[in-house]
Amino acid sequence: MIVMAAQTLKKIVQNKAYRIVLLQLAGVVILAFLALLMRGLTSGLSVLLGGLAYGLPNLVFVWRVFRYVGASQTTQFVAAFFIGEMLKLAFSAVLFIVIVKYLPVSLLSVLIGFAGAIVSFWVVCFCMFSR
pLDDT for the residue numbered 61 = 93
**pLDDT tens-digit map of 43-57:** 999 999 999 999 999
Give the pLDDT band (50/70/90) at residue 1: low
On the question of pLDDT at 125 being above 90, the answer is yes
Taking only the tens place, the pLDDT of each residue in 25-80 is 999 999 999 999 999 999 999 999 999 999 999 999 998 888 776 656 778 878 88
- Own/partner long-range contacts of 30-38 (Cβ < 8 Å, ≥24 apart): 31/112, 31/113, 31/116, 31/120, 32/113, 35/109, 35/112, 35/113
pTM of the predicted model as reported, rounded to 2 decimal places: 0.89
